[in-house]
Structures are given as C-alpha cells and as structure tokens.
Amino acid sequence: MRDLANSINAQFRGQLGRFRLDAAFTVPATGITGLFGPSGCGKSTVLRCIAGLQQLPGSRFSIAGDTWQDESLFRKAHQRPIGYVFQEASLFQHLSVKGNLLYGAPRHPAEQSNGQSIGFDEVLELLGLVPLLDRSPRHLSGGERQRVAIGRALLSQPKLLLMDEPLSALDRLTKDDILPFLERLHERLSLPVIYVSHDITEIERLADHLVLMRAGEVIASGPLTQVQSDPTLPLAASREAAVNFDAIVQRYDSNYGLVTLQLEGAELLVPAPPVAAGERRRVRIAAGDVSLARQLPQQSTILNALPTKIVSATPLNASEMVVVLALGDGTGGARLLARVTRRSWDHLQLATGQQVIAQVKGVALAPGRGDRSRDPSHSPTA
C-alpha cells in the first residue's frame, strides 16, 4: 500500500450520458504523471473530475493526505488549489503578457502556500518570458501563448498542475521548442503534474509515472518504464513500443564524440554533443532497435551489446514476438524490449530465464539544456 501522505489517490465512477467512467489510480504526488489512452477513453473527463468541474457521486480524490472529495465532502472547483492548462491558451486580450501572468496570482504567495511559492522571476526565467512581458497576447505565436498560459497557471500557486493536451494544437517544430521548457519545470519545481496526451512521444519525454486508460477505465498505472515494458499491455505490443530511462552521464569521449550513460544494470555508449559528467539525460530505446544474440559478437560495429536475462516472450502476430529483457543478471536491472521474429527465436533456441546479449542498434537521447538541437536525436549505435 502506497504512503497516502505522498500520493495522489483518484477514484472516479459514474455515468455521463452513454459514457461510463470507472477510473481509479494511485501515483506518487511528485513528478509528472502521464494520462494516456485513445481518443474518447475519458482522459479529459478524469481531469475535469480532479478539478471539481465534474461531480460524480461515490468518487474520491486526495493528494498528499489532503482530501478534496469523498463520500461526505466535495470541494468546489474554486476551492481546489490547481493550475489548469488547456489545449488552447485562453489569455485576456486586453491585458499584456505581464497582466495575464499576474491575473489570479495571490498577493502574498508565500503566506498562501506554506512558503512553497513559485516566484514571478523564477517563472519568467523557467519559461523564457522576459522578452514577452509587455506584448499583447494578440501578437504572440501559439507556442508563446502556451508558455504564458503555463506561467499563469504556475503563479496561481497550485498544489497540482493539470495539463490537458497542452501541445496538441501546436505544430511539430513549436512542440519541440516548448518541450525543453516543460523539462526544465519538471527538473526545477517539485509541483506534481498530471499530463494528458494521446501522443506517446510527449509522454515518453516528460512522464515519470503513467496511467493507461481504455474505454473509461484505468488498465494500468505505475512507473513509466514498468508500464511500457509490460507485455500484457497495449504499449509493448505496438509498432512504437519502446522503453525510456533516466540515465546518468558517466563520461564523454571527445575523440569519438560518444557519451557513456549509466543505467540500472548496464552502460550505454551513444553519439552526442559534449555533455558534462553527472548530468541526467533521458534515453529511449525502441523495441525494433534491439536484437538478440546467444553470445557477445566477436567482431561487430554494434557499440552496445548488453548482457541481459529473458523475462518473458509474447507472440505479437504470426511472425513476431515481443521479448522483455532485464539488464545484467536479471536481478533488479532495468527492463528492455526487443521485437524479434518467431523464426529467430526458434532458430536460436531461446527461452525464458536464459542469459542473452541484447544488441542495441539505436538510442534516442533527449537533448540537454545546452544542446542546440531540441529534437531528441536518434543515433545509430552500430
């Protein structure tokens, strides 16, 4: 049982027209929780319930030991300390950016939030808003408007930030511009965030925990990598199946332009711009980029040939299977996914519990703060 004082506990049940919501999850009250699922599965409805905008009898919600609703209590929307960021930023056109940011901000934030206030200057710096302060919202790009909306939500001193598809109205390049700002918020603020998206690449980039929904129900929740690597869930079986890790930079080899990253149970070599030792960077390894070998390849261009143990193997279709691997000797190492053909599986006489070598042909490394390119670079590691 998770410690209630440090968790978000949600249970929303009820009928909305023809739609039945029966969603319950418990996640830590820290970091970013991604709420992911197909269109119409109920993600926005869950956020509306958390915000107190939708009341369903018999529902419960608490965060860090503070109950917002249960059988006998229902705090109205304005009594819930939340920031809400929507797909389209609704800014006041008659106010400047500064006016918009300060709208709704408590006058004495430190008194209102037990000293845990988010400062005006800090928000400006985190979201790069200084050059925009005197501008009218009419003259902002979509990405700039969204940054202002996020800043305004933060300055209301919320205890929980709800983000409902905040990037989905933006084009690819603008999205890539905003993601590093969100990563910085995540790094610097301890504010818990529930982030709704139907774009798995955003979730992979930002989330620490994941709640998977389908048809009004929560089908899984847990740490991101754990949910990604569960072969019984739809993510591991999808074409885009991948796992993400937060790895620590060990060293940088400027001679070859390679960074060494430490994961639980393995080290990875990845081509990258110079990066300082000790930095934390998120990596993504796609199932389709991992192949298996019985032995360490003697002469190969593959940079990352990692000892692993086969945890499970699940057929995907007539020709392919998804294999879950534990890095290292299988005790406590991070999990990887590999998509292999059934023919190769039989040919190599592979079996659950066996030690095998995972050959990682490519790794996507999320950019660091100093990187010029903001798109996660997918580098062949062969």
Ligand X SMILES: Nc1ncnc2c1ncn2[C@@H]1O[C@H](COP(=O)(O)OP(=O)(O)OP(=O)(O)O)[C@@H](O)[C@H]1O
Q: Which of 1, 17, 299, 317 binds ligand X (CB under 6 A)?
A: 17
> Min. distance of Cβ 47 from ligand X in angstroms?
8
Closest listed residue to residue 53, CA positions, set 30, 94, 84: 84
Least separation in angstroms between CB 233 and ligand X:
17
Report the alpha-carbon distance of residue 16 to residue 54 in Å, rounded. 10
Which of 32, 43, 91, 225 is the binder for ligand X (CB under 6 A)?
43
Among 7, 45, 304, 308, binds ligand X (CB under 6 A): 45
Take residue 292 and report the two structure tokens written for it.
């298996």
Is residue 44 involved in binding ligand X (CB under 6 A)?
A: yes
State the amino acid at position 232 in one-letter form: T
Q: From CA 244, how far away is CA 283, in angstroms rounded?
A: 5
CA distance 78 to 355: 56
Q: Count the residues of the shown chain that bind ligand X, applying the rule CB under 6 A.
A: 12
CB 64 to ligand X: min, Å: 25
Site membership for ligand X, residue 72 (CB under 6 A): no
What does the alpha-carbon distance between residue 363 and residue 152 come to, in Å, rounded to a whole number? 36
Contact status: 13 vs ligand X (CB under 6 A):
no
CB of 144 or CB of 165, closer to ligand X: 165
For ligand X, which residue of 13, 14, 16, 117 counts as binding (CB under 6 A)?
Answer: 16
Site residues for ligand X, 98-137, by CB under 6 A, read none
Per CB under 6 A, the list member of 40, 65, 104, 106 interacting with ligand X is: 40
Name the residue number minimizing CB distance to ligand X: 17
Q: φ, ψ for residue 100 (rounded to 5)?
A: -65, -40
57 lies in the site for ligand X, by CB under 6 A: no
The tokens for 299 are: 């002469």
Stretch that binds ligand X, among 40-48, 63-71, 186-194, 367-375 (CB under 6 A): 40-48
CB-nearer residue toward ligand X: 215 or 348: 215
Closest CA to 103 of 89, 114, 88: 89
Number of helices and strands in the chain (H, E): 10, 21
Q: Which stretch binds ligand X (CB under 6 A): 12-20, 129-137, 253-261, 308-316?
A: 12-20
User: Using CA atoms, how far apart are residues 356 and 348, in angstroms rounded to an integer?
Assistant: 10
Q: In angstroms, rounded to a whole number, what is the distance separating the alpha carbons of residues 189 and 167?
A: 20
Among residues 10, 27, 29, 41, the one that binds ligand X under rule CB under 6 A: 41
State yes or no: residue 55 binds ligand X (CB under 6 A): no
Query: Is 59 one of the binding residues for ligand X (CB under 6 A)?
Result: no
Query: Which one, 16 or 102, has the nearer CB to ligand X?
Result: 16
d(C-alpha 60, C-alpha 9), whole Å: 8
- Stretch in the footprint of ligand X (CB under 6 A) among 39-47, 72-80, 153-161, 329-337: 39-47
Q: Which of 140, 151, 157 is nearest to 185 (CA)?
A: 151
199 vs 253, which CB is nearer to ligand X? 199
Half-sphere exposure of 97 (CA within 13 A, CB side): 26
Distance CA 93, CA 102 (A): 14
Coil, strand or helix at 156 = coil
CA 372-202-159 angle, 5° bins: 105
Segment interacting with ligand X (CB under 6 A) among 42-50, 128-136, 179-187, 353-361: 42-50
d(C-alpha 166, C-alpha 197), whole Å? 8
Residues between 195 and 234 that touch ligand X (CB under 6 A): 198
Nearest distance, CB of residue 197 and ligand X, angstroms: 8
CB of 201 to ligand X, least distance (A): 15
Q: Which is nearer to ligand X, 38 or 274 (CB)?
A: 38
- 124-152 in b/e form (b: 16+ CB < 10 A) is bebbbbeebeeebbeebebbbbbbbbbbb
Task: Say whether residue 39 binds ligand X (CB under 6 A).
Answer: yes
Residue 19 contacts ligand X per CB under 6 A? yes
- Which residues contact ligand X (rule: CB under 6 A)? 16-17, 19, 37, 39-45, 198
